[in-house]
Structure 1
Amino acid sequence: MRTLCSSTLIGEALLIMFAGLVAMKLTDVGTGAIWAVSGVAILLCVLLCGVITRPGAVWVGWALQLGVLASGLVLPTMYAFGVVFGGLWWCSVHYGRKIDEFKAQRAAAAEAPAPAAA
């Protein structure tokens, strides 16, 4: 799960950075406010990559997805990106957990003693 979620978060950090650049030119919101909010979101994305396997980290990721979706209030294109990255986040968590379960089963099977030949 760590690899999939981290990849999604890094992609999202890049999206937020570029969206901040676009928002500076297309909105009346001050540059300082845009970069304060964008900077916090980018930092959260990067820090969340390191703690994604800890309890509650996935929920923080969901909150981040809602924040990206809500940024559509300032830059309407972000509604579409919020939906896309929300879907990517769901896929990363869902399939990441399935992959982790599969790896655990495979590791348990490899550690189990082989049946004795008769």
Structure 2
Amino acid sequence: MGTRPAANPARRLFATVLACEAIVVALAIPVAVSVLDVDGATAGGVCGGLAVLCLVLAGLLRFPWAITAGTVLQVLIIATGFIVPAMFFLGVVFGALWGTAIWLGHKVGGAQPR
């Protein structure tokens, strides 16, 4: 039996941000349809697609490219503010959480074991 390499300790934080973000983005669908009169197919396609993408990406965090893809996803979620204006603010909040997770991941990854 071989030993598995140590997992990135920040991976759980990245997954938590993405899972919470998926919930918030999915909840933007009824707001867009009911309050802002956005077409249901448009709101469902954009916000629903991004919510599913968040969950899929949370499962793919074992790959190094997933952090970059998550960063691109943060920009796309901020852009949903053009459909639901509150998403500009919420997207920036989640982007800040994502940036904090990257910072903490580098800080923990550079720590020397005792």
TM-score range, shorter chain: 0.7 to 0.9
What RMSD over aligned residues (CA atoms) do the two structures have, in Å? 1.4
- Indicate yes or no: 2:90 matched with 1:76: no
| Percent identity of paired positions between Structure 1 and Structure 2 | 33
1:49-92, Cα deviation, whole Å (9 max, x unpaired): 11113122111111111111111111111111111011000001
1:11-61, Cα deviation, whole Å (9 max, x unpaired): 100100111121111223211111111221111111111111312211111
- Of 51, 68, 93, the match for 1:59: 68
Q: Which amino acid aligns with 2:103?
A: H
Relative to the length of structure 2, the TM-score reads 0.83
Quick one: distance in 1 between partners of 2:60 and 2:106? 15
Aligned residues: 105
Matched-pair contact (CA < 8 Å) for 2:78–2:92: yes
- Could you list the runs of 4 or more consecutive aligned residues of structure 1 that deviate by over 6 angstroms after TM superposition? none
- Unpaired runs of 5+ residues, structure 2, are 1-9
Relative to the length of structure 1, the TM-score reads 0.81
Could you say which structure has the larger radius of gyration? 1
| Bigger share in helix | 1
